[in-house]
């Protein structure tokens, strides 16, 4: 079983040890052109937005979701909205104004409902006309391309999976938190000597050793658990790869990194959704908590965007799940977010209101919210966002999402 005390220690220690690390760059010397932080989390498998963030005030909602609602009653956050119980730990963030969501949103991808295409297009952010060229780079990389002054660690792809989102001409660092480079002193000495004549190898191995050491430093710190708990206000924190991704991301963001991205899986809940989405949403809650705690003061200038390739059917199916749909939800968390708000125009859930009489009708483009976030965090011009980053996007009519 999970030893909660050690997890708390591990999680919180990262934030505390960073200040003591010789590797840290003082903020005044930071490498990026801005100080705000953006984390993009891709939820692979199509999150059921209607179960995660529930429109309980809609008169048709209960009849569409009888089994799911009865099995896991939600937590109301307004007259209209309730959170899935697995997101209940985020309610304090909502109340503090550090959690928001956009509902009935999607990319322009329609009808074929393939995970593979949907994720590619979500990350490419362009190429939605059928048969149009697939973009070879991702929108987050294109954003980096239009901003001068980027350095090696300004953007970080966290984890082993190669993300189209951050692929492209702009340089992006990459490391999987589970990766270590542990060498005997002699082997390390010999490696440095081997690589002395090849700068590509020399700089890569130096950085790999530094990353391993910084990870080791944050694991080895022994701090008082109660003190940590008090500091963080956390109520739970899970183990696993997802928490490691978030811890590592927080650690990087405390240093020179300004933009980071990683993926969470487990959202494709065709059967017995009650168990599946509970696990996935618990992991998402963990990730947001770990980022909040790990970032400390920096949380105030951070926005976390959690987005998925498409939503799921409005009606639950015969096997206690939901099938691939269209409109869905996007979560936003962080001190920089205009929180406590439900963005987007609610289309309603009567059969006539649904897309194709089966899916939540998308009324907003999920890319427009991402663009608003980048505009607000980094001061990027909407015309640049609508041309270079998301070609053809129209941001007009999409609210500001950053304070």
- Give the binding site for other proteins (CB under 8 A): 114-116, 120, 130-134, 136, 160-162, 164, 167, 173-176, 179-184, 186-187, 190-191, 193-198, 200-201, 204-205, 207-208, 211-212
CB of 293 to other proteins, least distance (A): 25
Give me the least distance between CB of 251 and other proteins, in Å please: 15
Tokens of 128: 């939605």
Q: Is 382 exposed, middle or buried (0-12, 13-18, 19+ CB in 10 A)?
A: middle
Give least dist CB 167 to other proteins, A. 6
Crossing angle of helices 273-295/4-18, nearest 10°? 40
Smallest distance from the beta carbon of 327 to other proteins, in angstroms?
Answer: 22
Of residues 51 and 123, the one with the C-beta less far from other proteins? 123
CB of 164 to other proteins, least distance (A): 5
- Closest to 100 (Cα-Cα) out of 373, 367, 312, 314: 373
- Dihedral class, residue 11 (left if φ above 0, else alpha if ψ from -120 to 50, else beta): alpha
Who's near 209: CB < 8 A, 6+ residues apart? Answer: 181, 183, 188
* Of residues 198 and 224, the one with the C-beta less far from other proteins: 198
CB of 210 or CB of 223, closer to other proteins: 210
Which conformational region is residue 262 in: left (phi greater than 0), alpha (psi within -120 to 50 degrees), or beta?
A: beta
Report how far Cα 234 is from the mean position of its chain's Cα atoms. 19
Give least dist CB 198 to other proteins, A: 4
Q: What are phi and psi of 75, to 5 degrees?
A: -115, 110
User: Considering only CA atoms, which of 120, 59, 106 is closest in space to residue 363?
Assistant: 106
Residue closer to other proteins (CB basis): 111 or 381: 111
Coil, strand or helix at 394: coil
Is the Cβ of residue 183 or residue 231 nearer to other proteins in the bound state?
A: 183
Smallest gap, in angstroms, from Cβ of residue 342 to other proteins?
Answer: 33
On the CB side of 85, CA atoms within 13 Å amount to 10
Residue with tokens 């483009």: 365
- In the complex with other proteins, the residue whose CB is nearer, 19 or 200, is 200
Q: Which one, of 3, 24, 28, lies nearest residue 218 by Cα?
A: 24
If you search the block for the tokens 């322009």, which residue do you land on? 108
DSSP string, 154-190: TEEEESSSPPGGG-SSS--EEE-TT------HHHHHH
Rounded least distance, CB 207 to other proteins, Å: 4
For other proteins, give the closer residue by CB, 135 or 283.
Answer: 135
CB of 126 to other proteins, least distance (A): 13
Smallest distance from the beta carbon of 179 to other proteins, in angstroms? 5
Rank residues 181 and 384 by Cβ distance to other proteins and give the closer one. Answer: 181
Instruction: Rank residues 167 and 285 by Cβ distance to other proteins and give the closer one.
Output: 167
Locate tokens 């910084």: which residue?
214
Nearer to other proteins, 151 or 207 (CB): 207
Contact at 8 Å (CB) between 9 and 228? Answer: yes
Q: Which of 99, 102, 211, 197 is nearest to 153 (CA)?
A: 211
Q: Which is nearer to other proteins, 157 or 228 (CB)?
A: 157
β-bridge mates for residue 83, sequence order: 53, 75
Q: Least distance from C-beta 192 to other proteins, angstroms? A: 10
């Amino acid at each position: 079983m999970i030893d909660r005390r050690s997890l708390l220690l591990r999680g919180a220690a990262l934030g505390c040890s960073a200040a003591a690390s010789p590797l840290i760059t003082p903020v005044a010397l930071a490498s990026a052109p801005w100080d705000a932080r953006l984390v993009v989390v891709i939820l692979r498998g199509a999150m059921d937005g209607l179960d995660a963030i529930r429109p309980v005030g809609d008169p048709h909602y209960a009849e569409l979701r009888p089994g799911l609602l009865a099995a896991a009653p939600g937590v109301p956050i307004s007259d209209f909205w309730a959170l899935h119980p697995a997101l209940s730990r985020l309610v304090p963030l909502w109340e503090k104004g550090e959690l928001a969501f956009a509902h009935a949103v999607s990319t322009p991808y329609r009808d074929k409902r393939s995970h593979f295409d949907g994720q590619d297009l979500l990350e490419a952010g362009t190429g939605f006309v059928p048969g149009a060229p697939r973009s070879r780079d991702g929108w987050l990389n294109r954003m980096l391309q239009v901003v001068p002054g980027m350095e090696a660690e300004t953007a970080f792809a966290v984890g082993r999976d190669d993300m189209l989102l951050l692929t492209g001409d702009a340089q992006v660092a990459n490391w999987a938190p589970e990766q270590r480079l542990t060498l005997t002193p002699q082997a390390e000495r010999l490696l440095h000597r081997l690589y002395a004549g090849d700068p590509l190898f020399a700089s890569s191995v130096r950085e790999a050793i530094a990353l391993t050491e910084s990870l080791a430093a944050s694991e080895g710190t022994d701090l008082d658990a109660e003190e940590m708990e008090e500091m963080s206000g956390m109520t739970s924190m899970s183990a696993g790869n997802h928490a490691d991704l978030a811890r590592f991301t927080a650690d990087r963001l405390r240093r020179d990194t300004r933009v980071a991205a990683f993926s969470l899986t487990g959202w494709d809940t065709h059967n017995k959704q009650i168990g599946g989405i509970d696990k996935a949403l618990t992991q998402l809650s963990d990730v947001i908590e770990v980022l909040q705690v790990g970032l400390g003061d920096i949380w105030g200038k951070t926005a976390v965007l959690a987005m998925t390739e498409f939503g799921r059917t409005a009606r639950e199916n015969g096997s206690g799940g939901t099938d691939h749909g269209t409109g869905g939800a996007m979560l936003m968390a962080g001190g920089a977010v205009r929180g406590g708000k439900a963005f987007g125009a609610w289309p309603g859930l009567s059969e006539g209101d649904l897309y194709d009489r089966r899916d939540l009708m998308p009324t907003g483009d999920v890319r427009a919210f991402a663009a608003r976030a980048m505009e607000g965090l980094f001061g990027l011009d909407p015309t640049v966002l609508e041309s270079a980053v998301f070609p053809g996007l129209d941001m007009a009519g999409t609210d500001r999402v950053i304070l």
